[in-house]
A and B are shown apart, each in its own frame.
Chain A
Amino acid sequence: MDVLLVLVVLAVVVFVVSRPLRGGHAEAVEASESAQRAGLEAAKEAKYAEIRDAELDHRMGKLSEEDWRAQDRTLRAEAMEVLRRLDELGPED
């Protein structure tokens, strides 16, 4: 009885595991390019978050006007660089 149950489980396992190999249901392929795009998008969001954080820090008095302007300039330049690289990848398909 037990042996039968184990064989049933084995059959289910083989079925599940071999499905991709039998030509069914391969996951949608994400080209390596779009992985790069995802990375750059995340970097862009992180940069924007940094810009916002810096402004909040300035409003809360942690950064002087001068320091904030310097950081803001740097951050925006970095954000522009990211946007430029995103554009280089080409239009989103």
Chain B
Amino acid sequence: MLSLGSGCLVLALGVALYGIAASLYGARGRAGAGSRAWVDSGRRAVYATAGVVLVAFGVLEAAFLRSDFALSVVADHSSTTTPTFYRATAVWSSQEGSLLLWVVLLGLWSSLMLFLTRRRAREVAPYATAVLLGFAVFFLSLLVFLENPFDRAQTVVAEGAGLNPLLRHPSMMIHPPMLYSGYTLFAVPFAFAVGALITRRLDAEWIRLTRPFTLAAWFFLGCGILLGARWSYTELGWGGYWAWDPVENASLMPWLIGTAFLHSVMIQEKRGMLKIWNVSLVLATGVLAILGTFLVRSGILNSIHAFGASTLGVPFLILIGAMIAGSVALVLSRASDLRSDARLDSLLSREAVFLLNNLVLVGLCFVIFWGTFFPLISEAVTGNEASVGPPWFDRYIVPLSLILVLLSGIGPVVAWRRATAANLRRNLARPGAVGVLALVVLLLAGVSGSVGALLMFALAAFVFAAVGQELWRGVRARRAMSSDSVPRALVSLVQRNRRRYGGYLVHVGVAVLFAGVAASSAFQDARDVQLQVGQSAKVGGYDLTYVRPTSKLEAASNGRLEKIDLGAVMRVSRGGKQVGTLRTERSFFPSADPTLGPVSRFFEGEATSEVGLRAGLRRDVWSAISPSVRDLRKQVAEGDRVFNGAKALPPVQRDIALAEALSGLTRSYTVNPPAATFRLIVSPLVSWIWIGALIVFAGGLIALWPPLRRAPRPVAARYAARVARELGRA
């Protein structure tokens, strides 16, 4: 079975290489009438590559599900005690498995795109095919020559190393496929842009055809980023959701540029403007997506995600260098074909706002890029490796984000081409007043200490008011034309202008999200305290009391002991009244080191936090515990001793003795608990970050949804007739 996997990878590599050759040969038209056939064959090579790679993936999945430790990758990342769901998803917790997943997804989306456009984009598609297969060849070469998932283990172990307990969470398992879907989906517009540049077919066709994939990429990448942030907040023991870690930044950068691209292409479709911007943005998105994959997989930057230094750094750098050089060369050589069809009429127009939006998003991306790569930049410039921390990022991200939210409120209110200045002033007056009012109310309520946060709240209010006004006016205009009831008018308004109103909803979601981020960063109260049973700590207006300790032994599916949980129950009170309870614990997983004693083994392996979280609409109360394991050293040593005495016994009785030793430990922890260290955080408005993100995605879905097949007949016919009539008169 395993040779089938390896064989499939080699086969896929061969087919992909053939596909590139066939597509390019057919595209050049040298084969005369047969060129079409070569192009079609190239397209089928994409389907074949996808299929073969899928077979290889299936073989790998089967090996994981079967716990086939003949494969070293299975032995290193899974075990017989790992639950089935995590065994299936452990495939992509490994370097090799994740590269294979990347190719599977690339094959899937490429096949879908080329199938949907098999009768269109005749000139562009072959080159796009070659680019997509080029990516496939790169990743397959890595898989075949450097990181083969089907490498056999030198010695077959009886039990695998198991999945890192930190990864044992559903979000953590969905997060990589989401991110990779985002990256690979961005490869499609990238490939078509390259094809369009090569063939000089630079009207909006390639944009139109690839739009569903661009939107889907934006959506999945955004989901992936969000899942990572939420996992960090609810599962890790530090209580934050974003650390400006290089790997986090690696996924945010392509998303920001992708957002700029999605906005900017609307201008090209409407007015034939910003062509150079658009090809540059989409090429940059593709490069950043590969760069993101590179950052995560090469270990080149210090990061909490560092998967270890690997041999993949150099090949990726070569690919990225080639992509950048190729993109720049293409854009420069096609500059004359990328001239705008029209010019910016006025700064008071939606086009101008979109242009500013491009600039702000690119600015944000540049700040993040600079900060992320600063260790390498400073080493190149000064010879010393230096890094910048979150405070430096915040200094630039905060003002740029404020401008972004401001623009997202102004954009919906301004008209295309040229807005009447007086009208614009009038239309912005009410939302502006709401924003100022919000600021005044907050100041009067005593909210102070952070200018940035206050401004963000005011701007969020401004955005709500602006979008609300738009909806209200739109409904009124609709009702004037059709005499629908208000709900019906609203529904049909949105249905007829899905992109516009879906987009407005996204802006509302972004404003909510930023408001949540501002509140939870600026007004958070975090405390690291040591508490004895019965002691309390005051955090953010709450009293958190360590009520009693908890301890538990957890067995895995095969009866073996999986982990020891030591934790606490805490009482949350406010103003003397109890408002809730928190349960938090630390799970201790055993190390595989055979030199350690059977009990001390548990405290030398991995430990994960079970966060005690009381989430609310107004604030979150968050707690994590670090039991003092050092104070248990005596009991642990005792347990080891007791167990060593039982070594000579048969296995069943040995297990019983181990269970007794451990139960003794947990009992003693409950009866005589040492003081424990707690991290306690009270954060306002955190839940609105997740709610805001959901609103963004709902808005994205509305905008994504394919439009009603036919514009309403009467309206279209009326315009067409009028234009045709005037045409006859002219």
Report A's interface with B, CB cutoff 8 A: 2-3, 5-6, 9-10, 13, 16-21, 23, 26-30, 32, 35, 38-39, 42, 46, 48-54, 56-57, 59-64, 66-67, 71, 76, 79-80, 83-84
CB atoms of B474 and A26 under 8 A apart: no
Known: A63-B420, A67-B415; 17 extra A-B contacts, CB below 8 A, are: A3-B3, A10-B11, A16-B48, A17-B45, A21-B34, A26-B37, A32-B123, A42-B205, A42-B208, A50-B270, A51-B719, A60-B477, A62-B414, A67-B418, A67-B419, A71-B417, A83-B723
Q: B726 contacts A80, CB within 8 Å?
A: yes
Query: Is there an interface contact between B415 and A27, defined as CB atoms closer than 8 Å?
Result: no
Q: Hey, which chain A residues are within 8 Å of B19, CB to CB?
A: 17
A contact residues around B508 at 8 Å (CB)? none
Contact of B122 among A32, A39, A62 (CB under 8 A): A32
- Name the A residues within 8 Å of B179 (CB-CB): none
Point out the residues of chain A lying under 8 angstroms from B427, CB to CB: 61-62
B727 within 8 Å of A (CB atoms): yes
Would you give the 0/1 interface string for B188-227, flagging 1 where the beta carbon is closer than 8 Å to chain A? 0000000000000001110010000000000000000000
- A-B pairs with beta carbons under 8 A, tally: 145
Expressed in whole angstroms, the Cα–Cα distance for A28 and B118 within the complex equals: 9
Complex: A32 Cα to B2 Cα, angstroms: 48
Q: A62-B415, A83-B723 are in contact. Are A9 and B122 (CB under 8 A)?
A: no
Q: CA–CA, A18 to B18, complex, Å?
A: 11
Count residues of chain B with CB under 8 A from any CB of chain A. 66
Sample (20) of A-B pairs whose CB atoms are under 8 Å apart:
A2-B2, A3-B3, A5-B7, A6-B11, A9-B7, A16-B47, A27-B118, A28-B119, A35-B205, A52-B715, A56-B474, A56-B477, A59-B480, A60-B473, A60-B476, A63-B419, A76-B726, A79-B723, A80-B730, A84-B727
Do A63 and B3 touch (CB < 8 A)? no
Residue of B nearest to A53 (CB): B416
Contact flags B293-323 to A (C-beta < 8 A → 1, else 0): 0000000000000000000000000000000
For A39, the chain B residues whose CB sits under 8 A away are 203-205
> Least Cβ distance of A22 to chain B in Å?
9
Tell which of A21, A35, A59 touches B120, judged by Cβ atoms closer than 8 Å. Answer: A35
**Is A20 a contact of B41 with CB atoms below 8 Å?**
yes
Partner of A20, one of B1, B40, B205, B415: B40
Q: A3-B7, A9-B52 are in contact. Are A46 and B270 (CB under 8 A)?
A: yes
Closest to A87 in B: B727
Contact A6 B3 (CB under 8 A): yes
User: In the docked arrangement, what's the CA distance between A51 and B723, Å?
Assistant: 11
Q: Is B55 an interface residue (CB 8 A)?
A: yes
Among A2, A38, A50, A84, contact of B416 (Cβ-Cβ < 8 Å): A50
Is B470 at the interface (CB under 8 A from chain A)?
Answer: yes
Taking the closest CB of chain A, its distance from the CB of B211, in whole angstroms, is: 12
How far, in whole Å, are A15 and B363 apart by their CA atoms in the complex?
50
Chain B interface mostly: helix
- Asked whether B205 lies within 8 Å of A38 as measured between CB atoms, the reply is yes
Q: A46-B270, A54-B416, A64-B422 are in contact. Are A9 and B55 (CB under 8 A)?
A: yes
Q: CB-CB < 8 A to A13: which residues of B?
A: 11, 15, 48, 51-52
B38: interface (CB < 8 Å): yes
Q: Does B424 sit at the interface, judged by CB under 8 A?
A: yes
Once the chains bind, are B423 and A2 in contact (CB under 8 Å)? no
* Interface of A: prevailing SS: helix
B365 is an interface residue with CB less than 8 A from chain A: no
In the bound complex, CA of A18 to CA of B43 (Å)? 11
- Chain B hits for A3, CB < 8 A: 3, 7
- Pairs A-B, 6 closest by C-beta atoms: A6-B7, A2-B3, A20-B40, A59-B477, A62-B415, A60-B473
**Residue interface bits B111-128, CB-to-A below 8 A is 1, else 0:** 000000011111100000
CB nearest to A7 among chain B residues? B7
Distance A50 CA – B269 CA, assembled complex (angstroms) = 10
Q: CB distance B18 to A17 under 8 Å?
A: yes
Counting chain A CB atoms within 10 Å of each CB, the highest count among B38, B118, B723 belongs to B723
Closest chain-B Cβ to A35's Cβ sits at a distance in Å of: 6
Instruction: Say yes or no: A62 contacts B424, CB within 8 Å.
Output: yes
Bound: A10/B52 CA distance, A: 9
Residues of B within 8 A of A48 (CB): 711, 716, 719-720
Is A6 a contact partner of B4 (Cβ separation < 8 A)?
A: yes
Provide the residues of chain A in CB contact with B37, threshold 8 Å: 20-21, 23, 26
Verify A27–B40 contact, CB threshold 8 A.
Answer: yes
Looking across the interface, which residue of chain A has its beta carbon closest to that of B496?
A: A52
Contact at A16–B7, with CB atoms within 8 Å? no
Q: Are B11 and A27 touching (Cβ within 8 A)? A: no
Give CA–CA (A84, B34) in the complex, Å.
35
What residue of chain A has the Cβ atom nearest to residue B201's Cβ? A35
Do A38 and B423 touch (CB < 8 A)? Answer: no
B337 to chain A: closest CB distance in Å? 14
Q: Is B328 an interface residue (CB 8 A)?
A: no
Contacts of A46 in B (CB 8 A): 269-270
> Taking the complex as formed, is B36 at the interface, i.e. its CB lies under 8 A from any CB of chain A?
yes
Q: How far is the CB of B477 from the nearest CB of chain A, in Å?
A: 4
Q: Would A18 and B41 count as touching, CB distance under 8 A?
A: yes
B416 adjacent to A19 (CB under 8 Å)? no
B116 to chain A, nearest CB (A): 12
B4 near A35 with CB under 8 A, answer no
Min Cβ gap A52→B in Å is 7
Q: Does B413 contact A (CB under 8 A)?
A: yes
- Report A-chain residues with C-beta under 8 Å of the C-beta of B424: 62
Determine the chain B residues whose CB is within 8 A of the CB of A50 once the complex forms. Answer: 270, 416
Known: A30-B120, A32-B122, A52-B715. A2 touches B422 (CB 8 A): no
What residues of B have a CB within 8 angstroms of the CB of A28 in the complex? 119
Residue B73 lies at the interface, judged by CB distance under 8 Å to chain A? no
Residues of chain B with a CB closer than 8 A to A16's CB: 44, 47-48
Residues in A with CB closer than 8 Å to B120 are: 30, 35, 38
- Chain B, residues 401-428, CB within 8 Å of chain A (1/0): the string is 0000000000001111111101110110
Residue B460 is within 8 A (CB to CB) of chain A in the complex: no
> Is there an interface contact between A26 and B47, defined as CB atoms closer than 8 Å?
no
Give the chain B neighbours of A54 by CB distance below 8 A: 415-417
Minimum CB–CB distance for B467 against chain A, Å:
13
CA distance A54 to B417 in the complex (A): 9
Residues on the B chain within 8 Å of A26, using CB: 36-37, 40
Q: Determine if B564 is an interface residue (Cβ-Cβ < 8 Å).
A: no
* B55 to chain A: closest residue by CB: A9
Whether A17 touches B41, Cβ cut-off 8 Å, given contacts A48-B716, A60-B474, is yes
Establish whether residues B726 and A63, one from each chain, have CB atoms under 8 Å apart when the complex forms. no
Is B8 interfacial (CB-CB < 8 Å)?
yes
- Complex Cα gap A23–B413 (Å): 57
Is the pair B727, A19 in contact by a Cβ cutoff of 8 Å?
A: no
